[in-house]
Amino acid sequence: MRALLISIFGMCMLATAAAADETAPANLANACAGCHGTDGKSPGQIPMIAGMAAADLAAELRQFKNDQKAATVMNRIAKGYTEAEIDAIANYFGGM
Amino acid sequence: MARTSSSGSSRRDVLKLAGLATAAGFGVRPAFSQSPGHVVVVGGGFGGATAAKYLRRAGVDVTLIETNATFATCPFSNTVLGGINEIDAITHGYDGLAAHGVQVVPDTVTGINAANKSVSLQGGTAVSYDRLILSPGIDFKWGEIEGYDEAAAEVMPHAWKAGAQTELLRRQLIAMDDGGVVAIAAPGNPFRCPPGPYERASLIAHYLKTHKPASKVLILDSKDSFSKQGLFQAGWAELYGDMIEWVPFSSGGNVARVDPATMTVYTDFDTHVVNVANIIPAQRSNRLVDTADLANGGDWCPINQLTFESTVQPGIHILGDASIAGAMPKSGFSANAQAKVCAAAIAALLRGDEPPSPSFINTCYSLVGPDYGISVAAVYRLNAEGAIAGVEGAGGVSPGDANAEFRKMEAEYARGWYASITSDMFG
Ligand SMILES: Cc1cc2nc3c(=O)[nH]c(=O)nc-3n(C[C@H](O)[C@H](O)[C@H](O)COP(=O)(O)OP(=O)(O)OC[C@H]3O[C@@H](n4cnc5c(N)ncnc54)[C@H](O)[C@@H]3O)c2cc1C
């Protein structure tokens, strides 16, 4: 029974293994909510990013990524994203 | 699974249960007709609460089954031990999720019937699902330390699930005389919250320094190194002098046996009679997963790291501490990030679409003192082998040479992180 389930499931996995190549903007942006709050609406000491214009947000992220702006943690995080991903994240928040 | 006959369970039972839940005042009944399916989430902690909320945002019907009426977070429970917060400050309810249309069912899942896609509840009902999410957290490997069982934990608390155990350990610290020894037994890898034992040592030392300055904190470790070790040790020296002593595995730190009657802790080399003993035992995935053999004979559940679907049983997704999620540590932040990716994958799968490609962040803040914060961060994505891996060149720990102002800002941001993540889960 178990072997059967595994083999059927194996086929399902093949079918779903290939996700879209570019990381989905919502998946990129939702990870930020762990610190910045749902949709960037921070209830506490971390800066609010909801309502920021896409261009400003992208510019901030590039400054963090290139160590052009002092930060405690954003420099370490921004380095995890490509230029295209930074634009995708900025457009996602900016378009809310 | 023996508790209820789930053979006849169907959509009807779900509706019946949903009706009951509504009648009892647990939230608004969602419109089942517009949803692509019904997802049952087991566990209203970091993974489960987040998954329930984000599935509702994606228009999916969700039933959340959680044993407890409220959830005390492990994150920031060390501030309760340090006398900085009361337990109320870290306790959250489920009204916010109910307001999003999540059916919140206060009950315990006793069995999983993967073949007919239902779970059985202690209360006697069965609930069927189109897809199931489990984020049940950990269980302890009782007996691995000789003499340490559930009864012993009432004398030597683990406080590794927050709530009554946290309050017990806090009362013991308050009752201890000045000059006492507090032992913390830290487990081997992998375990829930790698920096947790060391943040705990820090905040207990903070309390002792203020109230019982002749006391000591003795960390007996089953490892030779630990998370953010350099930053912790520098912070300890700066804030607490030699109040905290760390005994690594190679110096005999491994705790092999305890005797609660005499408050004795036996390591591989030594015998310590202590005043307070916080024994953090080795861990495994919550035993609920064994009812469907999801750990496959191991301690943790193997999953497809794109969708979090079990590689043992289709239709069951496992998040958080219980899962094997590549390079991600077992943290609340990880569970929260995984839940959002899993919710998006399930919403897509229920609609017949491809799951979107994932991205994750984890950051573990630790308080060395109330105004002294440190952190470790990483950004993750899937690698070519389909495993979650850290993005090179990103992440890492707080700088070693930062000044007091920087450490204070990170302590402020740690508090901000707590406010944000708990509102992302429950708000
Ligand atoms: C002292 C300490 C400090 C920590 N600090 C941090 C920190 O600063 N940052 C961080 O990111 N992480 C931290 N963590 C780690 C974090 O607590 C866990 O990684 C996180 O809780 C895992 O989430 P989860 O969803 O897997 O499990 P949990 O959050 O434990 O949720 C599991 C839920 O499932 C419920 N449940 C279990 N079985 C059943 C069942 N059969 N039926 C119904 N309900 C069930 C439980 O009641 C519980 O509410 C800390 C942990 C500890 C111990």
Round to whole Å and give the CA distance between B266 and B363: 34
Structure confidence by residue, pLDDT tens digits, B337-376: 999 999 999 999 999 999 999 999 999 999 999 999 999 9
| The pLDDT value given to residue A21 | 55
Is residue B1, in this structure, part of any structural domain at all? no
Domain that holds residue B96: 9-137+286-426
Close Cβ partners of B287 (under 8 Å, ≥ 6 residues apart): B139
Residue closest by Cα to atom 4 of ligand 1: B75
* Residue positions counted in chain A: 96
- Asked if B40 and B66 count as a contact pair (C-beta separation under 8 A), the reply is no
DSSP label at A95? T
The contacts found for B75-78 with CB under 8 angstroms, 24 or more apart, are B75/B193, B75/B332, B75/B418, B75/B421, B76/B418, B77/B159, B77/B162, B77/B166, B78/B196, B78/B199, B78/B200, B78/B202, B78/B203, B78/B204, B78/B367
Is position A5 within any domain? no
Taking only the tens place, the pLDDT of each residue in B374-413 is 999 999 999 999 999 999 999 999 999 999 999 999 999 9
Here the tokens at position B199 are 């943040």
| CATH code: domain of residue A67 | 1.10.760.10
Q: Cα separation of B349 and B308, whole Å? A: 12
Last residue of one domain, picked from the residues B279, B299, B314: B279
Residue A9 lies in a domain: no
Could you read off the pLDDT tens digit of each residue along chain A, which spans 96 residues?
344 444 444 333 433 334 445 789 999 999 999 999 999 999 999 999 999 999 999 999 999 999 999 999 999 999 999 999 999 999 999 998
Judgement on whether residues B203 and B262 belong to the same structural domain of the protein: yes
Q: Is residue B256 part of a domain?
A: yes
- B96 and B222 inside one domain: no
In a domain, A44, yes or no: yes
pLDDT in tens, B106-141: 999 999 999 999 999 999 999 999 999 999 999 999
pLDDT for position B338 = 98
Complex ipTM value: 0.90
Which of B279, B294, B311 marks a domain boundary? Answer: B279
Q: Specify which residues B103 forms β-bridges with.
A: B63
Q: What is the pLDDT of residue A22?
A: 78
With the CA atoms of B84, B86, B90 and B91 taken in that order, what torsion angle do they form, in degrees rounded to the nearest 10?
A: 180
Count other Cβ atoms within 10 Å, centred on residue B285: 25
Tally of domains in chain B? 2
Q: Report how many domains make up chain A.
A: 1
Indicate if B401 and B292 belong to the same structural domain. yes
CA B110 – CA B282 distance, rounded (Å): 23
CB contacts of A43 in chain B (<8 Å) are 419-420, 423, 427
Please report, for the domain that includes residue B189, its CATH number.
3.50.50.60
Residue A40 located in a structural domain: yes
Is B198 found in the same domain as B182?
A: yes
Ligand 1 pocket mutation, candidates B63, B67, B113, criterion most atoms within 8 A of CB: B67
Min Cα distance A42 → chain B (Å) is: 6
Token output for B318? 């496992």
Please tell me whether residue B192 adopts helix, strand or coil conformation.
coil
Domain membership flag for residue A12 = no
Any domain includes B165? yes
**CA distances (Å), B290 to each of B6, B48, B131, B134, B202, in order?**
18, 18, 18, 12, 36
Q: Are residues B152 and B266 in the same domain?
A: yes
Pair B124, B238 in one domain: no
Token representation of residue A61: 């992220």
Tokens of B250: 């190679």
Of B360, B395, B420, the CB nearest to A76: B395
Tell whether B2 is covered by a domain: no
Choose, out of B412, B417, B421, B425, the residue to mutate when testing the contact with A (most A CBs < 10 Å).
Answer: B417
In 10 A of CB B259, how many CB atoms? 18
Q: Classify residue A16: in a domain, yes or no.
A: no
Are B131 and B13 in the same domain?
yes
Domain that holds residue A47: 22-94
Q: To the nearest 10°, report the CA torsion of B110, B294, A11, B50.
A: 70
Q: How far apart are CA B360 and CA B139, in angstroms?
A: 25
Cα–Cα distance for residue pair A37/B263, rounded to 1 Å: 44
* C-alpha A39 – ligand 1 centre gap (Å): 23
Helix (H, G, I), strand (E, B) or coil at B313: coil
Tell me the H-state helices in B24-137. 46-57, 77-81, 95-99
Query: Is ligand 1 within 6 A of the CB of residue B68?
Result: yes
Q: What is the pLDDT of residue B183?
A: 98
Between CA B273 and CA B265 the distance in angstroms is 6
Looking at the fold, whether B335 and B390 belong to one and the same domain comes out as yes
Give me the residues paired with residue B131 across strands: B39
Residues of A with Cβ-Cβ distance to B344 under 8 angstroms: 24, 26-27, 30
Which of B344, B377, B420 is nearest residue A73 as measured by Cβ atoms? B377
Query: Running along chain B, 427 residues long, what does each successive block of 10 average in pLDDT?
Result: 35 41 39 80 98 98 98 98 98 98 98 97 97 98 97 98 98 98 98 98 98 98 98 98 98 97 96 98 98 97 98 98 98 98 98 96 98 98 97 98 98 98 98
B368 inside domain: yes
Question: What is the torsional sign of CA B97, B101, B107, B110?
Answer: negative
CB B127 within 8 A of CB B311: no
Which of B279, B308, B341 lies at the terminal end of a domain, its last residue? B279
pLDDT at A12 (0 to 100): 38
Does residue A74 lie within any of the structural domains? yes
C-alpha to C-alpha distances, B218 to B70, B157, B181, B188, B409, nearest whole angstrom: 33, 15, 7, 17, 29
Tell me which residue in B337, B410, B420 faces A36 most closely, judged by beta carbons: B420
The 10 Å Cβ neighbour count of residue B111 is 18
- CB < 8 Å to B394, chain A: 76-81
Asked, for residue A17, whether it belongs to a domain, the answer is: no
Q: What is the pLDDT of residue A23?
A: 85
Q: Do B357 and A21 touch (CB under 8 A)?
A: yes
Give yes or no: residues B422 and B316 share one domain. Answer: yes
- 3-class state of residue A48 by DSSP: coil
10 Å Cβ neighbour count for B181? 18
Contacts of A45 in chain B (CB under 8 A): 412-413, 415-416, 419
